[in-house]
Amino acid sequence: MAHPRRVYVTGLSAGGGMTAAVLATYPERFAGGGVVAGLPYRCASALYEAYTCMNPGKDLTPEQWGDRVRAASSHTGPWPTMTVWHGDADYTVSVANQRELVEQWTEVHGTDATPDRTGTVAGYPHAVYTDDRGSSVVETVTVTGMGHGQPVDPGTGTTECGHTAAHMPDVDACTAWYLADTWNLT
């Protein structure tokens, strides 16, 4: 019997683009990933394109985005899950990229880009997109009022983490903890 994949990856901004890239190119090695303020896979194919992908972003159809992921490997599934955190006041990496990542990864999973469940995480809008079995395949958390950065919640509590610094704002939500909990690693 094959062992289930238990490896997860996460990254901020350029690292977020790398997260999408490793999930697309090595999907058999990862169970899921978390992108924080990042870009869809293959938004840019050259460095000069990266800046326009970051802001204002690139608007492709879900099929076009999905085709880019499927072309990255010979993998046929199951695909890694995707969680996307983004500040709605991010002027470095436009929040439009969150929508494009949702379109890319819901399309790869064969579902639509309409949330099946909505709610909040730490008071911020949360959307869940499920497959035909009702399993979460894509999630988003939109941190209202936050610019570009990795959300932290300094403290010693179970759900708290991090220290404030450049691009690490205290928004009372620890993305690292939330992702670990989502992946049943806490």
Which residues are identified as catalytic?
Answer: 13
Are 125 and 69 within 8 A, CB to CB?
Answer: no
- Tell which residue, 136, 10, 36, has the closest CA to residue 92: 36
DSSP string, 95-124: THHHHHHHHHHHHHTT--SS-SEEEEETTE
d(CA 20, CA 15) in angstroms, rounded, equals 9
Output DSSP code: residue 28: G
Paired residues of 136 in beta bridges = 130
Residue 125 makes CB contacts below 8 A (sequence gap 6+) with 118, 140, 141, 142, 144
